[in-house]
Amino acid sequence: MLKKYPFLAIVKYSNIEYVCVIQNQDNDVTTIYDYNTLHEGDKSEFLRLADQWWWESNRMIPINIFLKNDWKPFAYCAKTLISKEVEIIDGHCVRLNELSTKRTKRKNIQLVRKPDS
């Protein structure tokens, strides 16, 4: 399933495995959208929109921010987990705190004027 839908992840939490899209993970919490709790009629739209996010974004922006109002109907399947107890078995994970650390570092150049002789 992960080969067909590369945006999905498998997460283990309290001995339960979730097939999900990870919204964001930081030091304290991990927020996921649990595929198995979706209503049957929502599953195809969930996969379609997640596929759109996967191919049209840089994959570093959380899905709910990228898709905004289109993603709101899936808020009911969001789960917030304690990051210390989360094990990401396979799949893509979004971490907003990495976004700022991956920026290129600026170099400071200081010009020194030669003293007149």
Span 19-61, pLDDT tens digits = 999 999 999 999 999 999 999 999 999 999 999 999 998 888 9
pTM of the model: 0.81
Burial of 37 (0-12, 13-18, 19+ CB in 10 A): middle
Indicate the domain borders of the chain: 9-97
Question: From the CB of residue 70, how many other CB atoms can be counted at a distance below 10 Å?
Answer: 15
> Helices in 9-107 by DSSP H: which ranges?
43-56, 63-67, 96-101
Q: Report which of residues 28 and 3 the model is more confident about.
A: 28
Residue of 98, 96, 94 lying closest to 22 (CA atoms): 94
20: which 2 tokens? 């999900």
Binned at pLDDT 50, 70 and 90, residue 102 comes out as low
